[in-house]
């Protein structure tokens, strides 16, 4: 119900909201095919050995033609479906406003209220979506793998800047060690003294190698977040962004749902297209009108 923005779901969330604020939200992003889903499957197994419950949300930018690559993730995570301590949901993000990660923010609140201590959120790290997940999560893991084209994808896409932990997956393949070296050097050159040195770990998700080390790095990062006060700052920043994203979409609704307002909107666009006023001027006039009534 929450996923479909059904009023019943949103009402439920209002009542549940005061139970949130305890979960560790871990974003896992990186290029398609780098092994994010496989890595999550191994990580879930590792987390379950300590008896903690874990929730996984996989956000897929589903293709309008095929209905999306969501099914692949479902199948891959099927291993855990019999375990009541694991909750897995794939969601398509098509048609949602405000970017991929923000479509999941309300589901994260729900799972947080339900008491999951760890929530893993997988998004495809190409462009904005990877950066969005970093704003939503308290710990961001960027997953890279050798052989995904020329060069190291995370450097080109700017994702490295938001990484708290970098993983070079597919350590069984050639080029993994080289990718790890390049990433280590790049991160050290751009290092900020206020943050701990970003770990660059090697994993082989399909053989569950390096997963315990990854789990350990996640736990250490959470300790640092707690000790430095950064946890509270990141939570507040994520909530602020969520409010702004919601505000933008409600303004858009207010503008377009009323027929007088929506015809003014259409007129403004016409004037912009004719070259009478700039796009910025049109936006200012429309927002002045909204404030006036
Ligand atoms: N050789 C090798 N293949 C892997 C490894 N991890 C994942 N794969 C394979 O890479 C492909 C993409 O993995 P997937 O987890 O779907 O990547 P995602 O798109 O990032 O979620 C699948 O065929 C996996 O079986 C690994 O560590 N080594
Ligand atoms: Mg995946």
* Tens digit of pLDDT at every position of the chain (293 positions): 888 888 999 899 999 999 999 999 999 998 888 999 999 999 999 999 999 999 999 886 654 434 444 445 554 555 666 788 999 988 776 555 555 666 789 999 999 999 999 999 998 876 566 667 888 899 999 999 998 766 676 676 678 888 999 999 999 999 999 999 999 998 998 888 888 899 999 999 999 999 999 999 999 999 999 999 999 999 999 999 889 888 888 888 888 888 888 899 999 999 999 999 999 999 999 999 888 86
Q: In the prediction, which pLDDT does 215 show?
A: 97
Ligand 1 proximity of 42 Cβ (cutoff 6 Å): no
Considering only CA atoms, which residue is closest to atom 26 of ligand 1? 170
State if residue 146 touches ligand 1 by the CB under 6 angstroms criterion.
no
**Contact indicator for 116, 1 with CB cutoff of 8 Å:** no
CA atoms within 13 A on the CB side of 234: 26
Residue identified by tokens 């409010």 is 243
- State residue 93's pLDDT score: 62
Question: What is residue 127's predicted lDDT score, i.e. its pLDDT?
Answer: 59
As a dihedral over the C-alpha atoms of residue 96, residue 100, residue 103, residue 107, rounded to 10 degrees, the angle is 150
CB distance 153 to 131 below 8 Å = no
Q: What local confidence, expressed as pLDDT, does residue 73 receive?
A: 52
Give the torsion sign (CA, 73, 96, 14, 18).
positive
Answer whether 23's CB lies under 8 Å from 112's CB.
yes
Q: What's the pLDDT at 83?
A: 86
* 3-state SS class at 36: helix
**Ligand positioned closest to the Cα atom of 73:** 2
Report which of 43, 247, 30, 280 is spatially closest to residue 154, judged by C-alpha positions. Answer: 30
Residue 145: its pLDDT value, please? 93
What is the rounded CA–CA span in Å between residue 251 and residue 287?
Answer: 9
- Interatomic CA distance for residues 121 and 37, integer angstroms: 10
Mutate which of 206, 207, 214 for ligand 1 pocket (most atoms within 8 A of beta carbon): 206
34 lines ligand 1 (CB under 6 A): yes
Query: Considering only CA atoms, which of 114, 96, 126, 21 is closest in space to residue 246?
Result: 96
- Give the contacts of 205 (CB within 8 A, at least 6 positions apart): 35, 38, 39, 41, 42, 169, 170, 211
- Total length of the chain: 293
Closest CA to ligand 1's atom 9: 35
């Amino acid at each position: 119900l929450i996923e479909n923005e059904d009023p019943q779901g949103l009402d439920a969330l209002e009542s549940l909201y005061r139970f949130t604020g305890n979960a560790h939200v871990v974003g896992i992003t990186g290029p398609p095919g780098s092994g994010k889903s496989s890595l999550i499957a191994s990580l879930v197994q590792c987390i379950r050995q300590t008896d903690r419950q874990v929730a996984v949300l996989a956000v897929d930018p589903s293709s309008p033609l095929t209905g999306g690559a969501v099914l692949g993730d479902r199948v891959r995570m099927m291993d855990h479906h019999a375990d009541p301590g694991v909750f897995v949901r794939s969601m398509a993000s098509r048609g949602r406003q405000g970017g991929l990660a923000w479509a999941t923010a309300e589901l994260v609140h729900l799972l947080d209220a339900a008491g999951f201590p760890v929530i893993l959120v997988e998004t495809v790290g190409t462009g904005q979506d990877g950066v969005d997940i970093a704003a939503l999560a308290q710990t961001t893991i960027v997953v890279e793998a050798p052989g995904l084209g020329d060069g190291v994808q995370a450097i080109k896409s700017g994702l490295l800047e938001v990484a708290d932990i970098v993983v070079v997956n597919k350590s069984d393949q050639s080029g993994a060690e080289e990718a790890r070296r390049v990433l280590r050097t790049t991160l050290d050159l751009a290092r900020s003294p206020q943050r701990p040195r970003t770990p660059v770990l090697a994993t082989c998700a399909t053989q569950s190698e390096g997963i315990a080390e990854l789990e350990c790095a996640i736990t250490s990062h959470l300790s640092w977040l707690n000790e430095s006060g950064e946890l509270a700052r990141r939570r507040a920043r994520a909530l602020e962004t969520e409010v702004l994203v919601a505000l933008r979409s409600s303004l858009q609704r207010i503008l377009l749902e009323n027929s007088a307002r929506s015809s003014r909107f259409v007129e403004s666009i016409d004037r912009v297209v004719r070259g009478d006023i700039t796009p910025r001027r049109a936006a200012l006039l429309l927002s002045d009108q909204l404030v006036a009534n």
